[in-house]
Structure 1
Amino acid sequence: MTTLTQDLIQLLSVVPKDQGYFLAQSKPLFGDHIFGGQLLAQSIVSASFTCTLPLHSLHANFISAGLANHPVLFKVENLRDSHSFSTRQVTAIQYGKPIYMVMLSYMNNEMGMEYQIPEPDLIPQFPQLCSKKSNSINRKSNHLFHLNIYPHFYSLFSLYLNQLNTC
């Protein structure tokens, strides 16, 4: 294992303390303040000790800046447990004050209705966008966007303009 991987595993390791409390070390990655992704990852690891279902969604709020050279205490609250769903609220605390909160929703993988419709045939695929013929057609539609920088957005925008012109 590389030292970078070892550092990441060590950073994401949390130590269980009391019931629902976990202690994590912090590392100054970008200055004196804790990197938000670090708090998010450590909170997910902390909550994973209390739930066996796969993580489905989350909503995070950064309340105040945390100090990177000081440990963080994570308080995990079990808000709901059922057969298919679980909800946890994790609060990151430094010096007795919350610096971050996240609501984590866990859901059992189940079969259900599929609402996704297939992609329409009108939208050109990426290889078509890169061809010279497609470039010349799309450049006539709108010269504001350069294809090499915004290929997908450019093609969708061109289709939209073409549909407006035919109305």
Structure 2
Amino acid sequence: MSQALQDLLDLLDLEQIEENIFRGQSRFAVVPRVFGGQVAAQALVAAGRTVPADRPAHSLHAYFLRPGDAGAPIVYTVDRIRDGRSFTTRRVVAVQHGKPIFHLSASFQRHEEGLEHQEPMPSAPDPDTLPTSEERLRDYGHLDPDVVERFLEARAAVDLRYVDEPPYGRFGEPREPHSQVWFRTNGKLADDPLLHVVLATYVSDMTLLDSVLLAHGRGGWAVGDVVGASLDHAMWFHRPFRADAWLLYDQQSPSAHGGRGLGQARIYTQDGRLAVSVIQEGLVRVPREEPARPS
């Protein structure tokens, strides 16, 4: 296991300070606030700690209410909404400085046999043939070196490989609002199913709005031509998967309007099983004074 992955697992391993109350630490991300994927993952950990191990998570729905302060801990309060024969429901509120910054509802279900179908996995190149994040980022001479280092540090726990150029790699020309990314953790994980769901939740907030930017030839915060933030986030966990094995994150954007952009995605295992569906809406604002684009 890489040290970066161990540091991430330590970050997600919450301290229980009272029944149904947990505390998590924070750290700076690539922007000067807490990374939304961290808060979502920690909230899911808090919810999962109050649920029997034989009931894996099958969905979550969340709202990002305020920017998180990376210099302060986050307190997660779990409300045990329902414990039924098949389903368990939890509500989690994340609080900093006396104010809620994040709200999550999560549902867990005991295993059942039932109807079975899925949409086929789209075509994508083998992840081992694609450049790593470091190889791509080191090649982008138009990016500020400090931005590159922040990107690499923030994503060091995950091997994340774009199938095509990311928005900040080739911006200035609109492209199809579709992006594909392969990802897996940089090291093996324990067999706990909740851990793999939590890690996928963490990664799911990294690239989902890329497709919105592609449609308009925008590079995002990395080049300063868009101001953005996650607004809400939903995930459905269809089938078991491992976050330490290659997963294809196939993302697209059907709409952008009113300063908001919508991203929707499916996550597939390398052998073609549909594991997760994801939808997120984010704030996507164009600054009044735009930076010059590369010629």
Structure 1 distance, partners of 2:6, 2:124, is: 38
Look up the match of 2:43.
Answer: 43
> Deviation at 1:87?
0.3
Matched residue pairs, number? 127
Structure number with bigger Rg: 1
Structure 1 counterpart SS, 2:114: coil
Look up the match of 1:59.
Answer: 61
Question: Could you give the per-residue CA deviations for residues 117-157 of structure 1, whole angstroms, max 9, x where no partner exists?
Answer: 787xxxxx889xxxxxxxxxxxxxxxxx99xx99xxxxxxx
Q: Which runs of 5+ in 1 are unaligned?
A: 120-124, 128-144, 151-167
Identity of aligned residues (%): 37
> Deviation at 1:42?
0.5
Structure 2 counterpart SS, 1:106: strand
Structure 2 distance, partners of 1:25, 1:126, is: 37
Q: Which runs of 5+ in 2 are unaligned?
A: 126-174, 181-295
Under a length normalisation based on structure 1, what TM-score does the superposition of the two structures give?
0.68
Structure 1 distance, partners of 2:98, 2:124, is: 52
Residue 34, structure 1, aligned to residue 31, structure 2: no
Structure 1 counterpart SS, 2:6: helix
> Deviation at 1:32?
2.3
Task: Map 1:127-142; keep pairs closer than 5 Å.
Answer: none
Structure 1 distance, partners of 2:114, 2:5, is: 38
Under a length normalisation based on structure 2, what TM-score does the superposition of the two structures give?
0.39
Structure 2 counterpart SS, 1:11: helix
Structure 2 distance, partners of 1:14, 1:101, is: 17
Residue identity matched to 2:90: R
Structure 1 distance, partners of 2:83, 2:112, is: 16
Q: Quick check: which one's strand share is greater?
A: 2
Residue identity matched to 2:23: L
Look up the match of 2:24.
Answer: 24
Residue identity matched to 1:68: A
Q: Quick check: which one's helix share is greater?
A: 1
Residue identity matched to 2:78: V
Structure 1 distance, partners of 2:60, 2:6, is: 27
Moved more, 28-37 or 17-26: 28-37
> Deviation at 1:30?
2.0
Does the 8 Å contact 1:32/1:69 carry over to 2? no
Structure 2 counterpart SS, 1:17: strand
CA RMSD of aligned residues (A): 2.8
